[in-house]
């Protein structure tokens, strides 16, 4: 009976060791995957922030250009109004 118990104990120990090994491998693999996904997320966030900054700079330049063009239009309109009227006969 002692030999049978010993064999069962040995078998259980081998099963437990195998399971622990598989769990450690799975844990290591998941930790690596998590680190890779966190790095990818960080990179995507950085790219999104860069694009947002670019959009904001572009919008500011467009607003400035529109403002400049409106001022030019107002100046031209003012000059046209101040021009003497030509009589066509």
Residues in Cβ contact with 67 at an 8 Å cutoff, skipping those fewer than 6 apart: none
The pTM for the full model equals: 0.60
What pLDDT band is residue 80 in, cutting at 50, 70 and 90? confident
Domain membership of residue 38 (yes or no) is yes
Q: What is the pLDDT of residue 37?
A: 98
What pLDDT band is residue 71 in, cutting at 50, 70 and 90? very high
Q: What is the pLDDT of residue 89?
A: 58
Domain membership of residue 39 (yes or no) is yes
Domain membership of residue 87 (yes or no) is no
Total number of domains in the chain = 1
Domain membership of residue 67 (yes or no) is no
Instruction: For 4-59, write each residue's pLDDT tens digit.
Output: 999 999 999 999 999 999 999 999 999 999 999 999 999 999 999 999 999 999 99
Domain membership of residue 41 (yes or no) is yes
Domain extent at residue 44: 34-62
Q: What is the largest CA-CA distance in the chain?
A: 133
Domain membership of residue 6 (yes or no) is no
CA distance 64 to 19: 67
Lookup result for tokens 């064999």: 7
Domain membership of residue 54 (yes or no) is yes
């Amino acid at each position: 009976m002692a030999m049978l118990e010993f064999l069962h104990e040995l078998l259980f120990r081998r099963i437990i060791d195998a399971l622990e090994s598989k769990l450690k491998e799975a844990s290591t693999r998941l930790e690596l995957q998590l680190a890779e996904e966190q790095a990818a997320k960080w990179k995507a966030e950085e790219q999104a922030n860069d694009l947002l900054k670019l959009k904001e700079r572009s919008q500011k330049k467009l607003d400035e250009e529109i403002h400049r063009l409106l001022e030019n239009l107002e100046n031209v309109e003012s000059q046209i109004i101040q021009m003497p009227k030509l009589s066509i006969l």
